[in-house]
Amino acid sequence: MRVLVTGARGMLGWDVCRVFAARHEVIPTHRAELDLTDTAATLAYLRERAPGVIVHCAGYTNVDQAEQEPEAAFAGNVLTTWNVVRAAQDTGSLVVYISTDFVFDGTQERPYHEFDAPRPLGVYAQSKWAGEQLVRSHLQRFFIVRTAGLFGLHGRNFVAAILERAEQGQPLRVVSDQVCCRTYTVDLAEALLELIDCPLFGTYHLTNAGYSSWYDFAREILAAAGLEEVSVQPISSAAWDGPARRPAYSVLDNLCWRLTGHQPLRPCAEALRDYLAARQVPNSH
């Protein structure tokens, strides 16, 4: 099957292309080749290639900057999705839309499943929720996949940032009152490959098993990397004082994934070990 991947040079898109290529014909796209905010160009490009599946990984991801440039965030997450959805109506493509745990406000005291009502707090979260609504309202064949805390070899992420600061001897101050899941992009890509064969379309949560605060995760990263002696200072979200509000508790329950007979993704600790090992392999990037 022909699978078109947007954001193919991004952290998730890179692994989606690699994993899917084992079983499908992959068409990687990036903003250098295709501006997804250009409606005419997007429609022409996708009509010409007529993919069976579109995995829409591209998007605006700077959570704090989105507060200063809401139109750019909505262009990157809503207009691009609108154009992809419109093209998919013409080509009959199945669309996989990558969303986020940030669509929830974090006030719940149990993990959020797919049928809980979203309540996005900031501009980034609102733009991702708006993208979800476009997919849900205009298509019949789609998967909306909410994930969280992505880390992988081909992009900036929390794990790499912690390791770089530790190796450079920089002080580590990490928020201790925000709790969520994490997801290794390789594991998510493999789950998406499995998901596109599922006949039950809709919304799915997909993360590695387990959850913790960012502070506890930072300590786990350092321990796994043999850097236990590095000190980490826990701080509150208020002390961090970022422009965007973030949910205090956005743990995702992968309920629909289990209900449809899929095996849970492996624990985050196992995925983290594989990621750290891959970072040491020459040319793995």
Report the length, in residues, of the chain: 285
Query: Could you tell me the two tokens for 247?
Result: 């949910």
Q: Which amino acid, residue 34?
A: L
In sequence order, the 6+-apart residues with CB closer than 8 A to the CB of 66 are: 60, 72, 73, 122, 123, 124, 127, 244
Q: Which of 101, 131, 135 is nearest to 119 (CA)?
A: 101
Question: Among 45, 97, 124, 184, which one carries the catalytic annotation?
Answer: 124
Q: Based on DSSP, count helices (H) and strands (E) in the chain, helices before strands.
A: 12, 12
- CA dist., res. 274 & res. 269, Å (int): 9
- Give the burial class of 170: count Cβ atoms within 10 A of its Cβ; 0-12 exposed, 13-18 middle, 19 or more buried: exposed
- The rounded Cα 22 to chain-centroid distance in angstroms is 22
DSSP tag of 236: -
Give 117: exposed, middle or buried? Use CB within 10 Å, 0-12, 13-18, 19+.
exposed
Ramachandran bin of 129, using left for φ above 0, alpha for ψ from -120 to 50, beta for the remaining angles: alpha
Known catalytic residue at 275:
no
Residues annotated as catalytic are: 124
